Amino acid sequence: MMLESFVDSIEKHTELKNINVRSVFGGKGVLSDGVMFALIKGNKLYLRASNDKLKQEFMKQACTPYEFNWRSPSRNYPSISSYYTVPDCIAHCDKQVALLCEEVWTAGRVEKIRKETPTRIKDLPNMQYKTERMLRKAGINSIDELREQGPVNAYKAVCVSQERHPGVNLLFCLAGALEGIHWSIIPDTMRQSLSHEAGADFITH
């Protein structure tokens, strides 16, 4: 069976771990550590082009994309995926195909990390669009600027810029956001330290 022999080849020739398979796009997707890098449909193997460089390389070698039908309640829509056939020049060599899969997986992992990395303040833990607007009004426009200010200075800046006191929980939310945790699990000792650093004028309202 092609799927089994392909997985065996990946495990033999590469360092990819935790290989698993799931149904997707009408075929079988092959993943390593949660990153899908290959698709098998029937007896055809397709590899993922997760960035423009890989896409251009596949197209340059006349690789064709996998096409599938996207179903809606009323009709089927033909769609072209980001998965391409293996280049003919290496299709006969299991080891070369496996090594290309490793390259494809690496690119896919980089893309996954990029997508999962917050780019706006609202994407951080405890943060919302409302919080992002308050920080922007206080002159803090990015995650880097928030890190530079730190939770206490950012909290003070928001307090000064707002007509109504935002509440002390905002201080803990900011601290949690920068630590990557929910504000409710911040230890009491850390809360006390943050409150003390902020000062009574900014804590009481």
The string of pLDDT tens digits covering residues 147-156 is 999 999 999 9
- Residue 72: pLDDT band with limits 50, 70, 90: very low
Quote the pLDDT of residue 204: 63
- Residue 74: pLDDT band with limits 50, 70, 90: low
Residue 32 has pLDDT above 80, yes or no: yes
- Residue 75: pLDDT band with limits 50, 70, 90: low
> What are the start and end residues of each CATH 3.30.1460.30 domain in the chain?
3-116
Q: Is pLDDT larger for residue 122 or for residue 74?
A: 122
Residue 77 has pLDDT above 70, yes or no: no
Residue 48 has pLDDT above 80, yes or no: yes
Quote the pLDDT of residue 70: 61
> Can you list the alpha helix ranges (DSSP code H) found in the chain?
2-13, 52-60, 94-116, 129-137, 143-161, 169-179, 188-198, 200-203
Quote the pLDDT of residue 200: 78
* Rounded percentage of the chain residues whose pLDDT exceeds 90: 74
Per-residue burial over 60-71, b if 16 or more Cβ lie within 10 Å, else e, is eeebebbebeee
Quote the pLDDT of residue 86: 97
- Distance between CA 45 and CA 27 in Å, rounded? 10
3-116 — its CATH code?
3.30.1460.30
Torsion of Cα atoms, 173 then 174 then 180 then 185, to 10°: -30
Fold classified for 121-202: DNA polymerase; domain 1 (1.10.150)
> What are the start and end residues of each CATH 1.10.150.20 domain in the chain?
121-202
Question: Taking the chain, what is the end-to-end CA distance rounded to the nearest angstrom?
Answer: 70
Quote the pLDDT of residue 90: 96
Quote the pLDDT of residue 113: 87
**Tens-digit pLDDT profile for residues 133-186:** 999 999 999 999 999 999 999 999 999 999 888 999 999 999 999 998 899 888
